[in-house]
Amino acid sequence: MKRRQFLRGLGLGAVVGGALPAAVAKAQPTQFRWRMVTSWPPGFPILQEGAERFARRIDEVSQGRLKIEVFAGGVLVPALGGFDAIRQGTVEAGSSASYYWAGQVPAAQFFTAVPYGLTVEDMQAWLYGAGGLELWNEVYAKVGLYALPMLNTGVQMGGWFRKELRTVEDLRGLKMRIPGLGGKVMAKLGVAVTLLPGAEIVPALERGTIDAAEWVGPAHDLVLGFPKVAKFYYYPGWHEPGAQAELMLSKRAWDALPKELQGMVHAVANEINIWSYAEFERRNAAALAQIKKDFPDVRVLPFPDALLREFRRQTDVVLGEEAAADRTGDFRRVYDAYLKFRSEQKDWVEIAQRAYFRAEELR
């Protein structure tokens, strides 16, 4: 039997090189099949679309060596069940947002969004250039996970409310869907906070189970039907100024991938990350115009300054409390790194981005 045929017979697919016995002994699998669960509703624009696009692109660039079957939220496991499903070895991958795992890994909240925190541009600078991603993976390694940034929403909207907000007191007693640190800030102001996955929000608003909810921005909010069930649409998304979603992997599955496939996963995750941000910017603009046109009774309003100031004040309180409560010390460690990066960026952001937006407003 010829060497190549022999290897094919073993299902190895290719000659690994070197002397045959060593090659056979060291040969690693060349084909990988993963299952990926997401936190997004089936067919959901940009997010579920992006997860499926990722799987398709990986199949293309790896020439079929890594195949990923994608399951929308609730199909294989609940929308917020990815963390457990990967850790239990049920699936290898997830498309989700790290702040959903705040209960298990408090420090993970920094890698999605922090109220009044980094914008999408600076988040990329922190993650890719200033050690943010390394920190993320240090924290995740402790729970057997590996993360890459994939899918970024850009600045979000502040949310849909069924009643107009005039003072901070108007928040008291409201039931609102809002995750992460933003939710904890709202809770400080007397809001009863719930965390519902995307598909369950509008039905809850319609039934009156909740009074307010934030999701992402116009592109999704229009599709989900928010303008039909709430009439006050507030901005800006002070709580999520550039929410970074994640490609979450089982560390064991990740470590088992040959280097070149790891490189492809990195590259395609980057590609989908940029693609998603571009799509959010484009589709949000179009959907905002559509909402204004089709729902003239919807009022698109800025949060009153008094509320924004209070959100900011409570954000510092919440971050301090979270740091004190996390006994692993990871929250404090990541928070310090995040603050250090922000202070290093501050001057530049001021004379570049902020000054540009101010200049643009002059006529």
CB of residue 112 vs Ca ion: minimum separation in angstroms? 9
CB of residue 159 vs Ca ion: minimum separation in angstroms? 8
CB of residue 226 vs Ca ion: minimum separation in angstroms? 12
Positions 208 through 247 that interact with Ca ion (CB under 5 A): 240
Residue closer to Ca ion by CB (options 240, 246) is 240
Owner of token pair 């408090």: 106
152 bridge partner residues: 244
Query: 354 Cβ partners below 8 Å, 6+ apart?
Result: none
Interaction mask 154-183, Ca ion, x per CB under 5 A = --x---------------------------
Residue closer to Ca ion by CB (options 80, 253) is 80
Residue closer to Ca ion by CB (options 126, 160) is 160
Taking the mean position of all CA atoms in its chain, how far away is CA 363? 37
**If we measure between CA atoms, which residue out of 83, 99, 71 comes closest to residue 145?**
83
Interaction mask 109-148, Ca ion, x per CB under 5 A = ----------------------------------------
CB of residue 156 vs Ca ion: minimum separation in angstroms? 5
Residue closer to Ca ion by CB (options 146, 215) is 215
Residue closer to Ca ion by CB (options 221, 240) is 240
- Quickly count: other Cβ atoms within 10 Å of residue 200's Cβ: 18
299 bridge partner residues: 232
Sign of torsion, CA 102 105 108 110?
Answer: positive
Quick one: 120 exposed, middle or buried, by C-beta within 10 A (0-12, 13-18, 19+)? buried
Total binding residues toward Ca ion, as defined by CB under 5 A: 2
Distance of alpha carbon 316 from alpha carbon 115, whole angstroms:
9
Positions that interact with Ca ion (CB under 5 A): 156, 240
